[in-house]
Structure 1
């Protein structure tokens, strides 16, 4: 694990957006397409704001997906897809191909096979950006989730996760997919998450799912 520290989050987000843009550009130089997986939530928003206007990326050759999604309609305020369409898939990045983790169905299991097939066609991920909760989860791989062991150790591309405190099922990329990314970044802010990161390094993935991803990842941290 490589740890990069920044004096403030604004500098961190700008640096991270530039690094991701460079990595995508490099992959596209050698390949027909590239793939980018990103988290939902508010933390990565400033990265999206910078990245979406990156003119040197041939966005029409980039497949963009979420690392995880809540099983809610795109119109819901809890939809990560909604955030992506508002903050990332705009400006020059509007030309990217979006690969969804949600479809119209009552239960995610009803559509999981077709969603996984589309994701598998984009693997390995060229660049993966992850967040981390204070409970040391990443994507929707939560401690105590019903399919935690499978998501950590299984061979499937996607898993449906139901976890204590989560009001709806979630679809998540597996730890295997995340670990196989050509470039993997974890972005965190504040002392509480820094402490959680240091704790995770001493625990098993079952206790701290982020621990499964940290080897080979670059962690970006700002105090505020």
Structure 2
């Protein structure tokens, strides 16, 4: 069964998330001489990445970073690009020595030692939205690791088509960390345990009951 940990505030959650990610990377490097992680965008992970970038206890030259999802933005739009977020936060300081690999549709991914996910108010995770025309394909067991998706309609706050890791690629991750903040999203998270992927896509992740999933929540 997956684990749910609650924190008193977001700063405490972010600090705990950074510590978990750093320890996971160090352990992977000891075991396999290399660590792979897939990251998500959003306001909550940004401070986590900034703090991570200063951790010299991680051998960053042996860390490969990709994205759990990306918005297909024009090159001049850095505000809505998850890659731009990672570059301006994690890939600084000691973290600048990590290798970044942009996701590509149809490209196989190595098993990720850590996948960091968030959840939207509609229950989406990565870029797996309830209004995806190909939702069932993205969730199916034989889905490619990285897929092109086009929510219909496009989200108002970031009206772009996307690349996303599919559900089976996420479930292959050795560790999955889901960050959720706010009472409203906690309600969605609890409701998703009883709903369907068309209502709340994250229900598909929760229904799989991955033992490697840890959810951190703070008000």
**Do both proteins adopt the same fold according to a TM-score greater than 0.5, normalized to the shorter chain?**
yes
Structure 1 Cα separation of the partners of residues 75 and 9 of structure 2: 32
Give the one of 157, 165, 170 matched to 2:154.
165
Gaps of 5+ in 1: 103-111
Structure 2 Cα separation of the partners of residues 66 and 73 of structure 1: 17
Normalization by structure 1: what TM-score? Answer: 0.89
Structure 1 Cα separation of the partners of residues 182 and 143 of structure 2: 34
Q: CA deviation at 1:126?
A: 0.2
Structure 1 Cα separation of the partners of residues 85 and 74 of structure 2: 12
Structure 2 Cα separation of the partners of residues 41 and 191 of structure 1: 17
Q: CA RMSD in A?
A: 1.3
Structure 2 Cα separation of the partners of residues 144 and 43 of structure 1: 24
Normalization by structure 2: what TM-score? Answer: 0.91
Instruction: Please give the per-residue CA displacement for 1:118-141, whole angstroms capped at 9, x wherever unaligned.
Output: xx2xx2110011000010000000
Q: CA deviation at 1:7?
A: 0.5
Gaps of 5+ in 2: none
Q: What SS does structure 1 have at the residue aligned with 2:168?
A: helix
Q: CA deviation at 1:12?
A: 0.7
Structure 1 Cα separation of the partners of residues 173 and 70 of structure 2: 19
Q: What SS does structure 1 have at the residue aligned with 2:42?
A: coil
Contact 2:154 2:160 in 1 (8 A): no
Aligned to 2:74: 73
Instruction: Please give the per-residue CA displacement for 1:86-109, whole angstroms capped at 9, x wherever unaligned.
Output: 11111111111101026xxxxxxx
Structure 2 Cα separation of the partners of residues 5 and 133 of structure 1: 18
Give the one of 83, 86, 93 matched to 1:84.
86
Aligned to 1:222: 218
